[in-house]
Amino acid sequence: MPRVSVIAQCFNHARFLVECLDSVEAQTFRDFELIIVDDASTDDSVQRIREWVARCRPETRVLALETNQGVAGALNAALAVTRGALVIRVATDDVWQPVLLERLVAALDDAPAHATMAFSDAACMDAASRDLGCSFIAMHRPGFVPRSGALLNDLAVGNFIPAPTVLMRKAALDAAGAFDSRLMYEDWDMWLRLANLGPFAFVPESLARYRIVDGSLARTLFESPDAVTSARLAHTHCLMAEKVLTFPVVHESGRRFWRAVHFENALKLFLRAESDRLLLRKGLRWYRSPRHVAVSMTASLGLPRMWVERVRDLAGV
C-alpha cells in the first residue's frame, strides 16, 4: 500500500496541468499513488491528462467525472478511492517543489501522534508562472508568524494555510467528515475541523507555488462577486459559523468573530429574500447584544422585512 495518496484536481486547467503533474512526478519522496480527478472540464484537459499519464506514470488512476461536482464533490470522489494513510491534494494549476512530500511526511512523522496535518507556506505566481513577490501566508495574514501546535484559535479569525501544501492523516479526515459540498470554498472549513481534532505541524519553507489568475475562485468570490455568488457566499459563511461556534475550545475573540459573521450574513440573506427566518432564529443561541437580539426577534415574529430593516437601523447594527 502506498504511504501517501496524492489527489490532483483539474477543472479547465489544460494550459497548466502538465507543469503541475511534472512537479508531482519529480518528488524525491516516491512512496505515493497518484489519483487525478477531472471535474467535467470543457477544454481538452482530459485528453492532456491521459497523454501525460501514458507518457509519465501509467499506473495513475484517472477519474473523469461526467458532470461537474464542484471542488468539494470532486475531492470527495477521489478520496473514496485513496489507499494511503496520508492524503494531499493539489489543484492542477499549482506547482510543487521537489522536496514537498519529503518535508511534509517527515514533519508528520516527527509530530505528536494526534497531529492531524502538516503544512508549509507557498509562493504566489501569475498565469505565466511569474513570481508575484509574495507568499500565501503573507498575502492572507500580513504579519502573522505561523507555527506548529494547536492552531484552531489562529484559524478561527482567518485562513492562512495554502491548500496545495497540506498533508493530512486519512484517519483524521475520516473523523472530521467529508469536504462540505454545500460551501463555495471547502479548504478553510476543513482546516478548522481538523484543528478542532488535533495540532498541526508547520514546515518553515515555501514548498509550493500557488497560482493566482483572472477568473480564479478567490477573485470571483471576494473581489467582484455577482448577486448570486454573493448570496451563496453569505450562506457559506453562515454554515461555517454554525460549525465553529460548537467547538468548545474556541476563544471568545473567535466566537465574537463568528457570531458577527453569522448575524451579518443571515440578515443580508433575509433582507434580500434569499432565505427565510431560520438562519436568524438559529443565531439567537449565540447573540449576546440586546441590539442583535432585537433584530433577530423582529424577524422571528414574522413581521415584514421593512420592519426588520427599521429595527436594524434603530439598533445601529
169, burial (CB in 10 Å: exposed 0-12, middle 13-18, buried 19+): buried
Q: What angle in degrees, to the nearest 10, is found between the helix axes of 187-197 and 227-244?
A: 0
User: Mean pLDDT over residues 292-308, rounded?
Assistant: 59
The mean pLDDT value of the chain amounts to 88
Start-to-end CA distance of the chain, whole Å, equals 56
Whether 191 shows a pLDDT value over 90: the answer reads yes
Nearest to 19 by CA among 126, 128, 93: 93
Please report the beta strands in the chain, taking only residues with DSSP state E, as ranges in sequence order. Answer: 4-10, 32-38, 61-64, 86-91, 95-96, 117-125, 131-135, 167-169, 200-211
- Give this prediction's pTM: 0.89
- Judge: domain 4-213, CATH 3.90.550.10: yes
Whether 113 shows a pLDDT value over 80: the answer reads yes
- Reported as a pLDDT band with limits 50, 70 and 90, residue 115 is very high
Residue whose grid cell is 481538523: 194
Structural domain boundaries of the chain?
Answer: 4-213, 225-315
Is 7 in contact with 77 (CB distance < 8 Å)? no
Whether 136 shows a pLDDT value over 60: the answer reads yes
What is the pairing mode between strands 4-10 and 95-96? unpaired
Residue whose grid cell is 492572507: 140
**Distance between CA atoms of 204 and 158, rounded to whole angstroms?**
19
DSSP labels, 96-157: E-TTHHHHHHHHHHHS-TT--EEEEEEEEE-TT--EEEEEHHHHHSTT----SB--HHHHTT
43-47, 53-57, 259-263: which range is least confident on average? 259-263
Pick 310 or 78 by higher pLDDT.
78
Burial of 108-133, coded b for 16+ CB within 10 Å and e otherwise, reads beebeeebbbbbbbbbbbeeeeeeee
**Distance between CA atoms of 309 and 317, rounded to whole angstroms?**
10
Fill in the DSSP letter of residue 225. -
Segment 213-248, tens digit of pLDDT: 875 555 555 555 677 788 889 889 989 999 999 999
26-40, 223-237, 287-301: which range is least confident on average? 287-301
Segment 53-66, tens digit of pLDDT: 999 999 999 999 99
Q: 179 has which bridge partners?
A: none
DSSP labels, 161-186: --GGG-EEEHHHHHHH-S--TTSS--
Sign of CA dihedral 254, 229, 189, 200: negative
* CA–centroid distance for 61 within its chain: 24
**What's the pLDDT score for residue 93?**
97
- Reported as a pLDDT band with limits 50, 70 and 90, residue 314 is low
Whether 90 shows a pLDDT value over 90: the answer reads yes
- Reported as a pLDDT band with limits 50, 70 and 90, residue 281 is low
* CA–centroid distance for 290 within its chain: 34
**What's the pLDDT score for residue 23?**
98
**What's the pLDDT score for residue 265?**
84
What 3-state class would DSSP assign to 253? helix
Sign of CA dihedral 7, 171, 115, 147: positive
